[in-house]
Amino acid sequence: MLPDFERKLLRIMYNYAAKYRKMPSMIELQRLTGRSHAEDIRAALLVLEKERYILWENQSDIQRITILEGWERS
């Protein structure tokens, strides 16, 4: 089970990518999540990658994230 913030971030990225056909920027993620520190978002992204919800090979660019699963597993 994902922590609340990671689950929220995954849903934001999934919905944003579905609507705009691209991943949100860090500034957009900060605005959409309400978190002002990029480190918090980066840490949550690393959790999502570790749990295999996203694929993030080039960790210097969040635009290249691939969502493997858009919903939390039951």
Structural domains in the chain, sorted by start: 4-67 (1.10.10.10)
pLDDT digit of tens for each residue in the chain (74 aa)?
Answer: 899 999 999 999 999 999 999 999 999 999 999 999 999 999 999 999 999 999 999 999 999 999 999 999 88
Phi and psi dihedrals of 66, rounded to 5?
-115, 130
3-class DSSP assignment, residue 68: coil
Are the C-beta atoms of 14 and 22 separated by less than 8 Å? no
Are the C-beta atoms of 51 and 2 separated by less than 8 Å? yes
Which pLDDT value is given to residue 74?
80
